[in-house]
Structure 1
Amino acid sequence: MNERNPGVSVVIPTYNRAHLISRAIQSVLDQTYQDLEIIVVDDGSIDNTGEIIKSFQDTKLKYIRYNKNKGASAARNTGIKAAKGKYIAFQDSDDEWFPDKLERQMEVFGDAPPEVGVVYSGFYRIEADKKIYFPSDRFTQKEGNIHNELLKGNFVGTPTVLIKKECFENTKYFDENLPALEDWELWIEISKHYFFKYINKPLLYSYSTANSVNLNQNNMLKAHETILLKHLDDFNKNKKILSDNYFDLGTGLCSNGDFKTGRNYLIKSIKVYHLNLKTMSTLLLLLFGQSIYFKFRDLSRKTGRRI
């Protein structure tokens, strides 16, 4: 019997999430759009994640397991290569889709021109008792050719995207060497070749968990530095954006106690764009010593302002 390829392949990487994975899988199975397959890639879990996944008696579900942990990027790449759908979506094992997520995105693709490769949406980030809507208004252009806007920082949530599988033919998938921010790097690459469409409403809940890799500040800083070097030609085209990225790296490193490297990045920031006032003020602040810097940093965090 010939098996027809599904419209959408949903890739779910997971690692030791036996207590959460059911919610993520069920939210995909409950979609109003049902022409799909679910590829769960178990990244070497040592808890009973595998048993939970196998308990789902649904032919849409496919299970791939690594014998040892390789990281979320490797797991997602495995899922992409195994996918049979024309479109690929990514679900995180601790997140929850709204039932109409895929249906709304497929409707947008149905009306979109061929240069659109990605349809993504807003989402609610759940942190303890807070519900925060993303992406923020800091990013002004959220659809079309958003390459330059993405160089300012990432605002495309991985579990929100629906992406044409053909997009990966011109890219190197998720960078498995990055310790964090691998989604940002991939969107920067894809945005060189395809336009993005944005649905300005939340279509999922993203839950903040204590062991999230993106909560590790050292990983974030290392990844940010690597991405800047990897795409330096693109960042160089807009000196203000490059300066702001150097500023973010510099202040992040200083906050982590690496004042020597942090100061070097702040100097780079002012060299590429002399009118960056926040960099100038931070460099002046550092003249008064590290203890003064930390006092101002803590004050800025309390007031919600950045130094």
Structure 2
Amino acid sequence: MSSACLETPSVAVLMCTYHPGIYFSEQLISIAEQSLSPSSVWVSDDSISTDVTARISEELEGAGLTGAKIVAGPRKGFAANFLSILCHPEVEGDYFAFSDQDDIWMPDKLQVAVDQLSRVPAELPAVYCGRSLLVTDGNQELGSSPLFGRQPSFANALVQSIAGGNTMVLNNSARELLRRAGECEIVSHDWWVYLLVSGVEGIVIYDAKPTIRYRQHDGNLVGGHTSLMAHLNRVRLLLFHDRFKSWNEINVASLQKVKHLLTARNRQVLEDFVSTRSGGVLRRLRHLRKSGVYRQTLMGNFGLLIATLTGKI
């Protein structure tokens, strides 16, 4: 890992691991070969075995990331692990990049993100995120994750996460915002970042051009499938299952605890969205319209409407 010049922004790479598999070394090499070298690499490992920790250390050295630091994760799931390392008191930097354990970063991933984030005033929370190039476990291209064209906003974030955490780079103001929010029960770290940054009317930069190769395999916790069947399954999730409703319950409960951080306008959006989730049909529809919440696609908004009608929002 090369030393950063004074003019070069410092970027801390925050990787979370759990029994990393055969793709781990390829990801580490892609981090080591970034055109903008990270100033530090932190690995928060949720594995229990000391043998795993030793192997991680060997893999880091093999990739040339000799200065990387390994810490024990909280062992409460992937989302808690990412928030834990983001808020770790010893982690410092101008920017903070989340990393999964089995992707492949394109050589300019960090440079592209920092170039765009550097245009945002430092005091304004900002996150860079975007699409992923989906690949097989053998790194053969499958296509890109969905392209979302509507403006990122808190009204969208309440009902949808638009980008994977593995694409996200945060500025220090966004990191401090997450720190102020503290430990909360959340569905996923990427969704929580989107909710909080948009909730304070920070900047969400959504890049249509992928900068990571995202492996699709049985070990993925969250997939990125783009087929028509995948889209239909998402709508089916809204229409006929309680998972979407339970996700909203978790996010709303945590947002209520930190609503003092939100702008007045977004506190009202949150209040209207909460009203959408109870009472009679006409009341739910009225508050759905008043809240202005939306998903990124026509099919997604149809599912949102039906979920409201059936009380599954």
TM over 0.5: yes
C-alpha offsets along residues 160-198 of structure 1, whole Å, 9 cap, x if unaligned?
Answer: 1111123232334685533x3342123211222321223
What is the deviation of 1:23? 2.2
| Alignment partners' CA distance in 1, 2:309 and 2:284 | 18
Residue 131 in structure 1 maps to residue 142 in structure 2? yes
Q: Residue type of the partner of 1:141?
A: Q
> Structure 1 residues 61, 283: closer, same or farther in 2, change over 3 A?
closer
1:64 match: secondary structure: strand
| Alignment partners' CA distance in 2, 1:237 and 1:28 | 39
| Alignment partners' CA distance in 1, 2:305 and 2:108 | 47
Q: Residue type of the partner of 2:209?
A: K
Q: In the alignment, what sits opposite 2:115? A: 107
| Alignment partners' CA distance in 1, 2:245 and 2:306 | 21
Aligned partner (choices 54, 69, 78) of residue 51 of structure 1: 54
Q: Residue type of the partner of 1:131?
A: L
Q: TM-score, normalised by structure 2?
A: 0.66
| Alignment partners' CA distance in 1, 2:71 and 2:54 | 13
2:42 match: secondary structure: strand
Q: Which moved more, 1:127-136 or 1:181-190?
A: 127-136
Q: In the alignment, what sits opposite 1:292? A: none
C-alpha offsets along residues 130-180 of structure 1, whole Å, 9 cap, x if unaligned?
Answer: 73423433x5114xxx222322411022111111123232334685533x3
Q: Residue type of the partner of 1:49?
A: V
| Alignment partners' CA distance in 2, 1:279 and 1:108 | 32
C-alpha offsets along residues 200-253 of structure 1, whole Å, 9 cap, x if unaligned?
Answer: 20100222343444479877653332113444784862899779x85xxxxxxx
Q: In the alignment, what sits opposite 2:250? A: 226
Q: Residue type of the partner of 2:193?
A: L
Aligned partner (choices 19, 31, 46) of residue 16 of structure 1: 19
Select the structure of larger CA radius of gyration. 1
What is the deviation of 1:16? 1.3
> Structure 1 residues 270, 210: closer, same or farther in 2, change over 3 A?
farther
What is the deviation of 1:118? 1.5
Aligned partner (choices 284, 289, 295) of residue 272 of structure 1: 284
What is the deviation of 1:69? 2.6
What is the deviation of 1:44? 2.3
Q: In the alignment, what sits opposite 2:150? A: 140
1:273 match: secondary structure: helix
CA RMSD of aligned residues (A): 3.9
Residue 191 in structure 1 maps to residue 194 in structure 2? no
Residue 120 in structure 1 maps to residue 129 in structure 2? yes
Q: Residue type of the partner of 2:249?
A: E
Q: In the alignment, what sits opposite 2:229? A: none
What is the deviation of 1:73? 2.9
Q: Residue type of the partner of 2:144?
A: Y
Q: Which moved more, 1:169-178 or 1:92-101?
A: 169-178
| Alignment partners' CA distance in 2, 1:54 and 1:84 | 21
Residue 76 of structure 1 contacts residue 174 of structure 1 at CA under 8 Å; is this kept in 2? Answer: no
C-alpha offsets along residues 264-304 of structure 1, whole Å, 9 cap, x if unaligned?
Answer: x7x7665321699767878999xxxxxxxxxxxxxxxxxxx
What is the deviation of 1:14? 0.6
Residue 284 of structure 2 contacts residue 309 of structure 2 at CA under 8 Å; is this kept in 1? Answer: no
Aligned partner (choices 144, 157, 166) of residue 159 of structure 1: 166
Q: In the alignment, what sits opposite 1:31? A: 34
| Alignment partners' CA distance in 2, 1:202 and 1:91 | 15
2:22 match: secondary structure: coil
Residue 83 of structure 2 contacts residue 189 of structure 2 at CA under 8 Å; is this kept in 1? Answer: no
| Alignment partners' CA distance in 2, 1:77 and 1:42 | 13
Residue 93 in structure 1 maps to residue 101 in structure 2? yes
Q: In the alignment, what sits opposite 2:269? A: 237
Q: Residue type of the partner of 1:34?
A: S
C-alpha offsets along residues 88-136 of structure 1, whole Å, 9 cap, x if unaligned?
Answer: 0000112221111001112222333443621223212346787342343
| Alignment partners' CA distance in 2, 1:281 and 1:110 | 41
**Structure 1 unpaired stretches of 5+:** 247-264, 286-307
| Alignment partners' CA distance in 1, 2:244 and 2:48 | 24
> Structure 1 residues 167, 223: closer, same or farther in 2, change over 3 A?
same
1:75 match: secondary structure: helix
**Equivalent pairs: percent with the same residue?**
18
Residue 24 of structure 2 contacts residue 101 of structure 2 at CA under 8 Å; is this kept in 1? Answer: yes
**Structure 2 unpaired stretches of 5+:** 224-236, 260-265, 290-301
